[in-house]
Structure 1
């Protein structure tokens, strides 16, 4: 029988958001964010630990905060393959003048809006390219679910994009915890027709 797909957002990284910076400085801040692991005080919720314990497959992106999230959720008791296909959707600093200063959280909103509208400097993955990557991710998770529950430890916006694709493909979001905050997770179960196909594959 087809298992469930579970997506989880990483825990809180070890980098302060309590700064006011320019757009250019936000680009530098985001690069440090990608390099940072989890804050030393971070601990996964028991609900996520239980989901990881019951998962046949656990995966993560190649960014430190996702790798450490998977390690903490599994207690370091199993190998967790990391793949760059699961890294966060790009968040390039917008082309705005230095007199405008905001905190990183607000710059994230502005940057995401620019990116959604098509802003992608040279070398940055375009919005449509990320959606193509998400299509491949959804297909991978679907295939892995044929063997049992699969847990992906990844990132906030990417997980939202995966949510859109899974729902479009007939999966049903049955549980969630934490909204879109750190350590949040969502569970997807196959619809009736998809569950039947999974049972046929398992029987072969």
Structure 2
């Protein structure tokens, strides 16, 4: 059987924010978001829960929303957590002393990332190191267990998938590119399969 790594974005966070914030407020929001678990009543799609029951191992970022998501996907299972799967740092965009809604901060981050992608800029070195170390860990687990489902975060998943592709893995399928509970499946391309950009 071809080894598989499934990268899942966590469920919706329980942290709720309202009001306008400046750069310091954005960092406080980030800290609170990282400390929060899942939103009340949050539940994974049934098909993803079935998939989680079929893999050889379920692992997760050590942040609360990712751990809680993994526990919903695999109730009672032994779930290894690692800071290697944590979300990458999102420095506050340069908006001066402006106080704006959180959605504006999110838009500014998205535009900054899109600009970097258009210029074919590589992710920061620290992000690449973290993703590379995470990729090596997951590849080792997949070699032992056959398949691994890793609950992680939006930007880290993007850089991690790229690190796996650089190591000969192939991305087969992506459902809901950045949506909560979306899953990206990669297989060891040195064994079998063909590249798909879906």
Q: Which residue of 2 aligns with 1:53?
A: 53
Question: Structure 2: 5+ residue runs without aligned partners?
Answer: 117-122, 193-198
Residues 79 and 59 of structure 1: CA distance in aligned 2, closer, same or farther (over 3 Å) = same
* Partner of residue 170 from structure 2, selected from 141, 161, 172: 172
What is the CA distance between 1:183 and its match in structure 2? 0.9
Q: Which residue of 1 aligns with 2:140?
A: 143
How many Å separate the matches in 2 of 1:103 and 1:170?
Answer: 42
For residues 39-188 of structure 1, what are the structure 2 equivalents within 5 Å?
39-74=39-74, 76-98=75-97, 100-111=98-109, 127-146=124-143, 147-188=145-186
Q: Which residue of 1 aligns with 2:4?
A: 4
Secondary structure (helix, strand or coil) at the match of 2:184 reads strand
- Tell me the TM-score normalised to structure 2 length: 0.84
Residues 182 and 19 of structure 1: CA distance in aligned 2, closer, same or farther (over 3 Å) = farther
Higher normalized strand content (fraction of residues): 2
How many Å separate the matches in 2 of 1:12 and 1:18?
Answer: 16
How many Å separate the matches in 2 of 1:17 and 1:181?
Answer: 19
Runs of 4+ in 1 over 6 A off after TM superposition: 112-118
Residues 151 and 105 of structure 1: CA distance in aligned 2, closer, same or farther (over 3 Å) = farther
RMSD value, Cα: 2.3
- Tell me the TM-score normalised to structure 1 length: 0.81
What is the CA distance between 1:34 and its match in structure 2? 0.4
Is 1:36 the equivalent of 2:55? no
How many Å separate the matches in 2 of 1:163 and 1:105?
Answer: 26
Question: Structure 1: 5+ residue runs without aligned partners?
Answer: 119-125, 197-204
Task: Tell whether the 8 Å contact from 2:127 to 2:159 is kept in structure 1 after alignment.
Answer: no
How big is each residue's C-alpha offset from its partner over 1:85-124, in whole Å with a ceiling of 9 and x where there is no partner?
11100012245332x2333243134347669999xxxxxx
